């Protein structure tokens, strides 16, 4: 986008302004903060700026007040120092003055958005002289506003946020400073199996946490009591460990864990060796010795990719493992990248935003990139550029 002369041009910018809103109040502005510089740059270049985004997953073909971008328009107006019009009917054209910014109502209310309808994509394209794809968080969706429009817009370009995300992820995974250490945690191996397989081929160390670690612990032959784990995926976990060994990558397992008799903030927490978990106990965090060892690995890493907290960090008694790793990432000189909703909540809770080299705005898009998948919006931009 920065290479284009935008003065007087109708510029349609697809952002991911899909932010959490409770009772009309935006509860996290992280995605808005990340998108704002792109919008300001286009405005300052004298463009007629139309910003487009989805919010939630409303039904197509009807207006849904709950999914309205009105709170976002208000937020943008506050930041830009001038009210931002929220335009509801825009498919047949929008009047925008040079240097003005308008917000188009939730594009997922348009019929055909979800299935990447060609007629709708052509309508979006007809709104503008230049289409800027900047929504990294939605780049894994092949929809009319993220994919189809790229084919038909007079000019289509990647925006600065999308470019920055791809650069940071590329730096972390394609040209990493070694050792490359990944932390992958979450409730289920099944949702992150492709990710684990893809990372095993790249990383020097893979730290697993949460329900994923429990499945690995069970696969290593230890009891996990009542912990969340996936008995059907023990072989898959063994395969990941065997692949890692073949490549000389380490998949360290916890040596100690924090257990409780139930999943609750007030359940009594007990630290014990990993081979002593009893029936009826649940593993809710890594133990202090494990956290110390993992922090040591992070301290020696050249690159750290973080997706998922290693314990139930929302409950203070089970937050220490995640906190220790978060602080180790913050203190390390590694290039670090964090992404995913729970991970960002942990980054927020431990106040380390400024100490992580790059915080991704992507949830599903971040994961798909780490899985090694090509993001449809990025593929469309490349095809358009003949690359
Ligand atoms: C996200 O929150 O991950 C993106 O905005 C994509 O939203 P979606 O999963 O509803 O497509």
Q: pLDDT for 79-102, tens place per residue?
A: 999 999 999 999 999 999 999 999
State yes or no: 54 annotated in a binding site.
yes
Give the tens place of pLDDT for each residue, 246-262.
999 999 999 999 999 99
The per-residue pLDDT for 351 is: 94
Q: Which of 8, 24, 341, 351 is catalytic?
A: 341
Q: How many Cβ atoms are within 10 Å of 74's Cβ, its own excluded?
A: 16
Task: Give residue 126 CA to ligand 1 midpoint distance, Å.
Answer: 25
Q: Where are the domains of the chain?
A: 10-158, 166-371
User: How much distance in Å is there from the Cα of 138 to the middle of ligand 1?
Assistant: 6
Catalytic residue of the set 46, 223, 364, 372: 364
Task: Please state the pTM of the whole predicted model.
Answer: 0.89
Task: Say how far apart CA 133 and CA 122 lie, in whole Å.
Answer: 15
Contact 176, 303 (CB under 8 A): yes
Helices (H), the chain: 30-44, 70-80, 118-126, 149-152, 160-173, 189-200, 210-219, 234-246, 288-300, 320-331, 341-349, 364-370, 376-384
In a 10 Å sphere around its CB, with 0-12 CB exposed, 13-18 middle and 19+ buried, how is residue 153 labelled?
buried
Pocket test for ligand 1, best of 26, 27, 54, 56 (most atoms within 8 A of CB): 54
Is residue 302 annotated as involved in ligand binding?
no
Q: Which residues lie across from 210 on neighbouring strands?
A: 186
What number is the ipTM of this complex? 0.99
Residue 188 has pLDDT above 90, yes or no: no
* Residue among 137, 128, 125, 127 at smallest CA distance from 161: 137
Is the pLDDT at 340 greater than 90, yes or no?
no
**Residue 220: CB atoms within 10 Å:** 15
How do 130-133 and 10-14 pair as beta strands?
Answer: parallel
Confidence band (pLDDT; 50, 70, 90) for 371?
A: confident
Q: Is 31 an active-site residue?
A: yes
* In the chain, % of residues over pLDDT 90: 89
Distance 249 CA to ligand 1 centre (A): 32
Catalytic residue among 79, 122, 151, 188: 188
271-285 pLDDT, tens digit per residue, is 999 999 999 999 999
Was 55 annotated as part of a binding site? yes
Fold of 166-371: Rossmann fold (3.40.50)
Euclidean distance between CA atoms 83 and 244, whole angstroms = 54
Q: Largest Cα–Cα distance in the chain?
A: 69
Ligand 1 mean position to 177 CA, how many Å?
Answer: 30
Confidence class of residue 304 from pLDDT cuts 50, 70 and 90? Answer: very high
Ligand 1 is surrounded, with C-beta below 6 A, by 16, 18, 57, 137-138, 141, 363-364
Catalytic, 159? Answer no
CA distance 189 to 334: 27
Domain 10-158: top CATH class: alpha beta
Question: What residues form DSSP beta bridges with 102?
Answer: 50, 85
Backbone angles phi, psi at 311, to 5 degrees: -150, 180
Residue 157's closest CA among 315, 9, 333? Answer: 9
Closest-CA residue, ligand 1 atom 6, reads: 138
pLDDT band at 36 (very low <50, low <70, confident <90, very high): very high
Report the mean per-residue pLDDT for the chain.
95
Q: Is 286 left (phi over 0), alpha (psi -120 to 50) or beta?
A: beta
| Count of other CB atoms within 10 angstroms of residue 287 | 23
Could you confirm whether 79 is annotated as catalytic? no
Instruction: Find tokens 């602080």 and name the residue.
Output: 327
Give yes or no: 188 in active site: yes
Whether the CB-CB separation of 185 and 350 falls below 8 Å is answered with no
Identify the H or E element spanning 85.
strand 85-87
């Amino acid at each position: 986008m920065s290479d284009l002369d935008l003065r007087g041009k109708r510029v349609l910018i697809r952002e991911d302004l899909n932010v959490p809103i409770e009772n009309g109040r935006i509860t996290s502005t992280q995605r808005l903060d990340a998108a704002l510089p792109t919008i300001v740059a286009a405005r300052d270049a004298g463009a007629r700026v139309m910003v487009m985004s989805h919010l939630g997953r409303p039904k197509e073909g009807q207006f849904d007040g709950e999914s309205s971008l009105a709170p976002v328009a208000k937020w943008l107006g506050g930041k830009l120092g001038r009210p931002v019009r929220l335009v509801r009917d825009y498919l047949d054209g929008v009047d925008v003055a040079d240097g003005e910014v308008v917000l188009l109502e939730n594009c997922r209310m348009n019929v055909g958005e979800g299935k990447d309808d060609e007629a709708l994509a052509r309508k979006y394209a007809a709104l503008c002289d230049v289409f800027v794809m900047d929504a990294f968080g939605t780049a894994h969706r092949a929809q009319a506003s993220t994919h189809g429009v790229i084919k038909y817009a007079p000019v289509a370009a990647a925006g600065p946020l999308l470019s920055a995300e791809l650069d940071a992820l590329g730096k972390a995974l394609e040209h990493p400073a070694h050792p490359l250490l990944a932390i992958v945690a979450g409730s289920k191996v099944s949702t992150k199996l492709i990710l684990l397989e893809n990372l095993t081929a790249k990383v020097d160390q893979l730290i697993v946490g949460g329900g994923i670690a429990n499945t690995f612990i069970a696969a290593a032959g230890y009891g996990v009591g009542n912990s969340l784990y996936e008995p059907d995926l023990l072989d898959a976990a063994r395969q990941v460990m065997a692949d890692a060994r073949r490549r000389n990558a380490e998949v360290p397992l916890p040596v100690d864990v924090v257990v409780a008799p139930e999943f609750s903030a007030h359940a009594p927490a007990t630290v014990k060796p990993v081979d002593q978990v009893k029936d009826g106990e649940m593993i809710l965090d890594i133990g202090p010795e494990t956290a110390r060892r993992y922090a040591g690995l992070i301290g020696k890493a050249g690159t750290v990719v973080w997706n998922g907290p290693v314990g139930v960090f929302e409950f203070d008694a089970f937050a220490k493992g995640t906190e220790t790793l978060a602080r180790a990432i913050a203190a390390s000189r590694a290039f670090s990248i964090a992404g995913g909703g729970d991970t960002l909540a942990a980054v927020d809770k431990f106040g380390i935003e400024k100490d992580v080299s790059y915080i991704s705005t992507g949830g599903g898009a971040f994961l798909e990139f780490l899985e090694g998948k090509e993001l449809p919006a990025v593929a469309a931009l490349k095809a358009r550029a003949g690359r």
